[in-house]
């Protein structure tokens, strides 16, 4: 959406906080950096997200929020397999690639992927990977909230983590 | 729930990953530390959570996951006002208080709170506070996912942040 479009919407339905104020606030809510992937009838795709959240351990479930305008959306809409790969310092460049404009077909060009139980791409040497199947979807404004039941967890306790805070990466020691 | 209860449930409906494996994995997904508060007909209450997530900026919305067995649940179920107070190093002890067994009436004993537009308690000198009204609720297993439309944002860009990772607090410089 363009800036102009933003302003027109804001004029039509005045919000109590502007999008800019919300985004600036959210930049100060630290989040893990995750490369979220899928594969299946809709093809292979992936994007970088901080909007990932644990929901419940019974049944083990997390959620991911995805902008419906995202180039990854058609694949995530058609597929049931999702993998959340939480990454640390060693995958900072890869996280930038999956968060940028690189064509979907090129994002997986680097080695270091294998197929999880769900069928989604699992990243080697991630801090932790949650291999999942979609259990529920909920539309909310511009985004789809994808609830995912976890069918596999792979973790490397020796890998340092990362947080995105104040629009910067921060390394987190183990 | 007790360990025995967990095992009985697992025996009745075998999960592909155990609760322990899920929890150990989630400990490696870094998260902001948030003191989430409410007030209204159900009374004043608050709890510490990392399970907070940005959803969309149109309309500005976040979500919070709350265990339905939590002592804070009755108040959050009855009220429409919610404030997510993201905290840094200076509020580490307060986050422990809101995450422990301190009676609800004593958690707000320290000074440093004011009432937001929604009616929920807003913490002074938080890294960022999102004052909200509940827009949607979704049950998922043991938890309720509370979708909240943001009606006010207060942020202090000079406050360092914090992330919870590998079961430890980590300070995040501005």
Categorize the per-residue pLDDT at A16 as very low, low, confident or very high, splitting at 50, 70 and 90: confident
pLDDT at B14: 57
Residue A168 has pLDDT above 50, yes or no: yes
**A62 to chain B nearest CA, in Å?**
9
Of A13, A170, A75, A112, residue with least CA distance to B60:
A13
Of A95, A75, A79, residue with least CA distance to A31:
A95
Residue at B18 is within a domain: no
Largest CA distance in chain B: 51
Nearest to B29 among A16, A128, A141 (CB): A128
For residue B133, list chain A residues with Cβ-Cβ distance below 8 A: none
Residue in chain B lying closest to A85 (CA): B29
Q: Which distant-in-sequence residues (6+ apart) come within 8 Å of A39 by Cβ? A: A45, A75, A79, A81, A115, A119, A120, A121
Average pLDDT of the segment spanning A154-174: 97
pLDDT at B15: 67
For residue A150, list chain B residues with Cβ-Cβ distance below 8 A: 16-17, 22, 25
Cβ of residue A134 closer than 8 Å to a chain B Cβ: no
pTM of the model: 0.91
pLDDT at A31: 98
pLDDT at A105: 87
For residue B51, list chain A residues with Cβ-Cβ distance below 8 A: 53-55
Cβ of residue B157 closer than 8 Å to a chain A Cβ: yes
CATH code, domain carrying A80:
2.30.110.10
What phi, psi does B59 have (nearest 5°)? -80, 150
Residue A119 has pLDDT above 60, yes or no: yes
pLDDT at B173: 97
Q: What is the pLDDT of residues B68-100, one digit of tens each?
A: 999 999 999 999 999 999 999 999 999 999 999
Residue at A127 is within a domain: yes
Q: Do A51 and B51 touch (CB under 8 A)?
A: no
Residue B20 has pLDDT above 50, yes or no: yes
Residue B113 has pLDDT above 90, yes or no: yes
pLDDT at A5: 36
**What would the 3-class secondary structure string for chain B be?**
CCHHHHHHHHHHCCCCCCHHHHHHHHCCCCEEEEEEEEECCCCCEEEEECCEEEEEECCEEEEEEEECCCCCHHHHHHCCEEEEEEECHHHHHHHHHHHCCCCHHHHCCCCCEEECCCCCEEECCCCEEEEEEEEEEEEECCEEEEEEEEEEEEECCCCCEEEEECCEEEEECC
Cβ of residue A22 closer than 8 Å to a chain B Cβ: yes
Residue at B103 is within a domain: yes
Of A29, A31, A33, A30, residue with least CA distance to A126:
A33
* A61 contacts A148 by C-beta, under 8 angstroms: yes
Q: What is the pLDDT of residues B34-46, one digit of tens each?
A: 999 999 999 999 9
Cβ of residue B89 closer than 8 Å to a chain A Cβ: no
Residue at A155 is within a domain: yes
Q: Do A57 and B19 touch (CB under 8 A)?
A: yes
Residue at B54 is within a domain: yes
Cβ of residue A174 closer than 8 Å to a chain B Cβ: yes
Instruction: Tell me what ipTM this predicted complex has.
Output: 0.91
Rounded Cα distance, A122 and A151, in Å: 12
According to DSSP, the β-strands at A81-87 and B121-123 are unpaired
* A163 contacts B86 by C-beta, under 8 angstroms: no
Cβ of residue A109 closer than 8 Å to a chain B Cβ: no
Any idea which of A17-31, A100-114, B121-135 has the lowest mean pLDDT? A100-114
Q: Please give the mean pLDDT across all residues of chain A.
A: 92
SS3 content of chain A, % helix, strand, coil (to 5): 20, 45, 35
Query: Which residues span the domain enclosing B83?
Result: 31-166
Rounded Cα distance, B27 and B165, in Å: 6
Q: What is the pLDDT of residues B153-163, one digit of tens each?
A: 999 999 999 99
Higher pLDDT, B152 or A14: B152
Q: Do B57 and A19 touch (CB under 8 A)?
A: yes
pLDDT at A2: 34
Q: What is the pLDDT of residues A37-68, one digit of tens each?
A: 999 999 999 999 999 999 999 999 999 999 99
Residue A111 has pLDDT above 90, yes or no: no
Residue B48 has pLDDT above 70, yes or no: yes
Say if residue A11 is exposed, middle or buried (CB neighbours under 10 Å; 0-12, 13-18, 19+): exposed
**B169 to chain A nearest CA, in Å?**
10
Residue at B138 is within a domain: yes
Q: Do A53 and B61 touch (CB under 8 A)?
A: no
* 8-state DSSP, A96: H
Categorize the per-residue pLDDT at A162 as very low, low, confident or very high, splitting at 50, 70 and 90: very high
Categorize the per-residue pLDDT at A14 as very low, low, confident or very high, splitting at 50, 70 and 90: low
Residue at A20 is within a domain: no
**B32 to chain A nearest CA, in Å?**
5
Report helix, strand or coil for A130.
strand
Of A104, A129, A126, A98, residue with least CA distance to A116:
A129
Residue at B6 is within a domain: no
Domain count, chain A: 1
Share above pLDDT 70 across residues of chain A, in percent, rounded to a whole number: 91
pLDDT at B111: 77
**B125 to chain A nearest CA, in Å?**
13
Residue B13 has pLDDT above 90, yes or no: no
């Amino acid at each position: 959406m363009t800036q102009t479009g933003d302003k027109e919407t804001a004029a039509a339905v005045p919000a109590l906080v502007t999008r800019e104020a919300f985004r600036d606030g959210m930049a100060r809510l630290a989040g893990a950096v995750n490369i979220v992937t899928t594969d299946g009838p809709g093809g292979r795709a992936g994007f970088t997200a901080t909007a990932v959240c644990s929901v419940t351990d019974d049944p083990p479930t997390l959620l991911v929020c995805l902008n419906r305008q995202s180039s990854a959306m058609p694949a995530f809409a058609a597929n049931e397999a999702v993998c959340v790969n939480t990454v640390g310092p060693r995958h900072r460049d890869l996280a930038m690639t999956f968060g940028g404009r690189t064509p979907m077909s090129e994002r997986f060009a680097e080695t270091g992927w294998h197929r999880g139980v769900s069928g989604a791409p699992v990243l080697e040497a991630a801090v932790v990977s949650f291999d999942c199947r979609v259990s529920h979807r909920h539309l909310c404004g511009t985004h789809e909230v994808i609830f995912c039941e976890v069918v596999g967890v792979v973790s490397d306790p020796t890998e340092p983590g990362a947080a995105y805070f104040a629009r910067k990466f921060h390394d987190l020691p183990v």
